[in-house]
Amino acid sequence: MERLSGLDATFLYIETPAHHMHVSMVAVFDPSTVAGGYSFDKVRDLIESRLPRIAQFRRRLVRVPFDLHHPVWVEDPDFDLDYHVRRVGVPSPGTLRELCDIAGDFTSRPLDRSKPLWELVVAEGLEGGQVGLLAKVHHSTVDGVSGAELMVHLFDLEPEPAPQEEPQPRPAERIPTDAELVAYAMRSRARQPLLFARALRGTARSLANLARVRRQGEGPGMAAPFTAPRTSFNGSITPHRKVAVANLSLPEIKEVKRSFGTTVNDVVLAICSGALRRYLIRRGELPATPLVAVCPVSVRSQLPEAEGSNQVSAFFTSLATDVSDPVGRLRAIASATRGAKEEHNAIGADMLQNWAEFAAPAVFARASRLYSGMKLADRHRPIHNLVISNVPGPAFPLYLAGARLAMLCPLGPVMEGAGLNITVMSYMDSVDVGLIACRELMPDLWDLANDFVDSMDELEKAAAAQSGETRPAAPAQP
């Protein structure tokens, strides 16, 4: 039995029927590398063989009576793999659009909290004989880094890996009684006055550091919440999701980075900004002020002894969508993110972790449902416009049951008031972009996905002009 950290539990409390808090994935595999040919049974058998190594796949939630404290994780005594791993057929012609349509429906449905909080769907019938894999895992059990660690256990480095040593059998774990849960909760609660005092001291120190950095800073700092302009995708969300993907070249992104002396993350944000700018201009709604993005940041390396699956923080940054010149936009973003990171570092990696421990289950859950049910996101200025995550992936090929991974697009949760999430992940020489949005707010999400190609192309041309070279135009997305 293991209690959820405050941050892990908060992802449960803020979930509503419209505001799903699972993270998802759209992947494509080439089964031509499978010895003896592909079959669904091979995929299922591989997942079953790896279950002893993946605690997140075996455990389920147990709620504490009267919500006296955060829930606990317990090994599910009634685990049923066939509930969690299913197969579907992709309708003709079997392109990425049809796969993403299935992903949209898949991500529109919440996970069953009476079972381990994950599901996989194997999608057969893609063009060229490829196979799709859709996955969703609740945010309470993984963040970006711990989600990548799941890949280590599920994927292999070669089509036919050497047999792995079988882990020692685990003793069966029983579901604790209500009395045991209450006693465990009360013991944990007894530590909270001390934790609260530490959090207050840490907050005072963080605010002093932030004030110092802002006094000394020369460029723009972190964008403030509630300063984002309203767009058509900023408002109350529904349960329905739309999914689209795009693919970019990592070497070309690195060349832009080298040409202008920025970071890869700055270039990724500039590509997102350029795509959003094109999309909004076409719709006649480009705001005069820049869009504001929230960028999650892993603090796992800074908090090596922190508990819980989620060890993340975030900063707000301007996307400079009001700047027409792509190079000027990139430089503005680089300056904004540099200042935002300095202020984020001044606040400290543990601020969010510390205060999340005091989240009251019943209060948070009711407040979230009230906010969503009354559509309060329509009545105030957006806290931010969207979430953009940049996750570094492996530079070497991965395999699942012998099938070579060809594309991997993560999908983050869509937030109330910000109906678009963009997650970017590098894999070998590619950068795969996963876009997920509230269907009613962004029914034309594929138009934005296609804008990523043009946004990348204008930065490539600017980099070529910087070095005196000429580059061909990028091909259109399917």
Phi, psi of 67 (to 5 degrees): 55, 45
Contact 163, 128 (CB under 8 A): no
Strand blocks (E) in 11-93: 22-30, 59-62, 72-75, 85-89
At 67, the amino acid letter reads D
If DSSP codes are grouped into helix, strand and coil, which group holds residue 135? Answer: strand
3-class secondary-structure state, position 60: strand
CA distance 240 to 245: 17
CA distance 166 to 51: 11
Tokens, residue 454: 């043009």
The verdict on whether 139 is a catalytic residue reads: yes
Taking the C-alpha atoms of residue 154 and residue 35, their distance in angstroms, rounded to an integer, is 18
Which DSSP symbol is given to 376? G
In this structure, is the dihedral angle defined by the CA atoms of residues 23, 105, 455 and 324, taken in order, positive or negative?
negative
Number of H helices, E strands in the chain: 14, 15
d(CA 11, CA 222): 24
Q: Which of 139, 240, 344, 384 is catalytic?
A: 139
Cα distances from 172 to residues 48, 75, 79, 183, 187, in angstroms, run: 17, 8, 12, 22, 25
Annotated catalytic sites, by residue?
Answer: 139
